A = this chain, B = another copy of it.
Amino acid sequence: MNRANNIINSDTPQSTEAVILKAASEVFMERGFDGARMQEIADRAGLNKALLHYYYRSKEKLFNAVFERVLIEMIEGMIQIFEDNLTVFESIRSFFKKHQEILMKNKLLPLFMLNEIQRAPELLIDLYPVDRIQVVRKKFYSDVNNEQHMGIIRKDVDPHDLFLNILSLSVFPFAAKPLLKGFYSMDENDFQSMISHRKENLADFVINAIKA
């Protein structure tokens, strides 16, 4: 269980501050900012509400602390996946494999992030240097372009679209988990095995879609 794959659960926290942050992460992830209660966070941390305010002043500040941490680790995690020097096909394979594993350990992450950014879009700009991720995207784009010239990837593939498609295929099932459970009447195990299956097969889907 290496650090990169583990966004919410820190390693057996010691300091009160860390205990609070861990409990807060859980509750905010499950219920969102508006649905979360300071009381529940205190209960889960085994402390009282007053202490939360002692350390973090307000619910909003506590939330921001949680969100910033989650946001940074998520993006850094995604960046790492793309960092190795691989062919585009290999990158795609490795991306799905690693990304599905990350999300499997943090099933609530996608919906949480999408939600809170919709609620307060400034969170994204305020808390993160957005251009950090541009570097990776640009590299991916030029890699794709190269392989298009080499006749490996179809010429009509737009790298920008491709990136978004990959992200959609990877993330959506997690955001839609409760919906899928309802429609397909799946339980937690079914969902898990669906993801393992996708982890192996999504790359083929995409590669077939783009290969020349």
Contacts and interface: CB of A to CB of B under 8 A. Distances in A.
A196 interface: no
Interface of A: 31-32, 34-35, 111, 113-115, 117-119, 121, 124-125, 130, 133, 154, 156, 158, 161, 164-165, 167-169, 171-173, 175-183, 185, 197-198, 201-202, 204-206, 208-210
Nearest to A125: B182
A121 to B, nearest CB: 5
A117 B183 CA distance: 11
A172 B168 contact: yes
A176 B163 CA distance: 13
A206 B210 CA distance: 10
A121 B197 contact: no
Contacts of A124: 178-179, 182-183
B115 A111 contact: yes
A23 to B, nearest CB: 19
Contact of A161 (B118, B180, B205): B205
